[in-house]
A and B are shown apart, each in its own frame.
Chain A
Amino acid sequence: MNKVGSNLLEAVSVISDGASVMIGGFGGSGAPIELIHALIDSGAKDLTVINNNAGNGHVGIAALIEQRRVARIICSFPRSADPRVFNELYLAGDIELEIVPQGTLAERIRAGGAGIPAFYTPTGVGTETAVGKEEAIFDGKRYLQERWLKADYALIKADLADTVGNLTYRRAARNFNPLMAMAAKTTIAQASNVVQAGEIDPDQVITPGIFVDTIVEVKSPKQEEVLNREGACYPC
């Protein structure tokens, strides 16, 4: 078994028009910028994107939106330092938005990966986000029923990967990445270093290889924050 793909474009070329794509990261931390840019190059459109945010500046998810590839976004917080790309399309009615409280978003994704179709949470009770959701009382307290969230693909940013797909993450770049890796039918990870099976201590593995389909090595991945400070855009 060897899950290492030859290049980014080939890895994402399986993603077809209309697919749902979970994209790891929280803001720029843990955002697989190179995979997102390859997805732009691939031409896939009418995508549903699941991320905590809705892009910042003109790179990464913001660039994917700017290139009109995203029909719908499911996120908790579409505000950012430079949210113009999303805002313009949203206010023009050209992109659909589903707002999900952040903890509910994380748990829905975990539930999707764990085979749990629904769960109850106190988050959102009595608010606009409760509309249309079943409510139940447990031990005298109100809870909302929330459903699992799954996707066709997940794009993940890892630090180390081995040839069988075991992953580690760097610092707080972990965030949504391990959850999304579990919740997609096909998970594609970029990693700063790809090593042979056996070279990652099993104690250190965060995402076991069973959750990962394809790995592409990206030696020195770009940080969204750094690109934005440079005024970068993609493609340009």
Chain B
Amino acid sequence: MLEKIQELKLTNSQIAWRAAQDLFDGAYVNLGIGFPEMVAKYQPEGCEVVFHTENGVLGFGEAPAPGEEDWDIINAGKKAITLKPGCSIFHHADSFSMIRGGHLDVAILGAYEISQNGDLANWSTGKGGIPAVGGAMDLVNGVKTVAIVTDHITKKGGAKLVESCSLPLTGVGCVNRIYTSLAVIDIEDGKFVLKEKIPNISVEELQSLTGAQLHLGASVKDLVVPEGV
């Protein structure tokens, strides 16, 4: 079963592509550090999204060419970015007013665990390492739609979508939608509701890889990613 999943599951690029398809023209969007940043590469045609970064830039573009970096222009991951026409710069309290004040449309973040009522654990493995929360707790409590991109299961095959989180929480009841390597799942009324799944896996198989009850949406669509992504 796990071998079959390894073959069938979407790559991170493919998950990012799927997440990007739900962005809309003019949306103000914050992408978490690392994997979620890949979403920026797959914006649908004709859809111009305005990206926000916690450290005070709205309307930034892709990384500059190596050697062209201006280290006063970075994103939350401390990577060099570029400023697009229409960009603005502001201090940290204004930046988090955009977040906490409900002005951003979408945040796309990573996850260790998500519970069926939308609790998110993504900042601490709870193993006594060095804690680092950054802006995650602000994002999940302030942004209108909080979406997660993640592998459906852990590297060891354990469930990441669970009844209740065992790791330290980032936020309570905050996640709206999960894009996994196998499915698209919404959180509705404290339940995981399956919206899309990859074609070559059954609902039963998907359920066996999910740590809480999957409820079927009105229709479960095939999750198909175009060739070349």
- CB contact between B169 and one of A80, A99, A127, A225 (< 8 Å): that residue: A127
Contacts of A145 in B (CB 8 A): none
Find residues 50-106 in chain A having any chain B CB closer than 8 Å to their own CB.
Answer: 52, 56, 76-81, 83, 86-87, 90-91, 97, 99-104, 106
Bound-complex Cα distance A28 to B69 (A): 13
- The answer to whether B57 and A122 touch across the interface, beta carbons within 8 angstroms, is no
Q: Does B41 contact A (CB under 8 A)?
A: no
Q: Does A32 contact B (CB under 8 A)?
A: no
Q: Does A153 contact B (CB under 8 A)?
A: no
- The answer to whether A127 and B72 touch across the interface, beta carbons within 8 angstroms, is no
Contacts of A109 in B (CB 8 A): 93
Q: Does B218 contact A (CB under 8 A)?
A: no
Q: Does B150 contact A (CB under 8 A)?
A: no
Bound-complex Cα distance A128 to B55 (A): 24
Given A27-B74, A76-B132, A103-B138, residue A126 in contact with residue B57 (CB < 8 A):
no
A-B contact number at CB 8 A:
148
Bound-complex Cα distance A103 to B55 (A): 10
Q: Does A42 contact B (CB under 8 A)?
A: no
Mark the stretch among A7-15, A176-184, A193-201, A211-219 that contacts chain B: A176-184
Q: Does A172 contact B (CB under 8 A)?
A: yes
Contacts of A223 in B (CB 8 A): 71-72
Say how far B57's CB is from chain A's closest CB, in angstroms: 5
Q: Taking each of A77, A100, A109, A172, which has the highest tally of chain B beta carbons within 10 Å of its own beta carbon?
A: A172
Contacts of B142 in A (CB 8 A): 103, 122-123
Contacts of A29 in B (CB 8 A): 55, 71-74, 78
Q: Does B44 contact A (CB under 8 A)?
A: no
Interface of A toward B, CB cutoff 8 Å: 26-30, 52, 56, 76-81, 83, 86-87, 90-91, 97, 99-104, 106-107, 109-110, 121-129, 170-179, 206, 223-226
Q: List 6 A-B contacts (CB under 8 A).
A: A83-B130, A107-B93, A128-B169, A175-B56, A175-B91, A223-B71
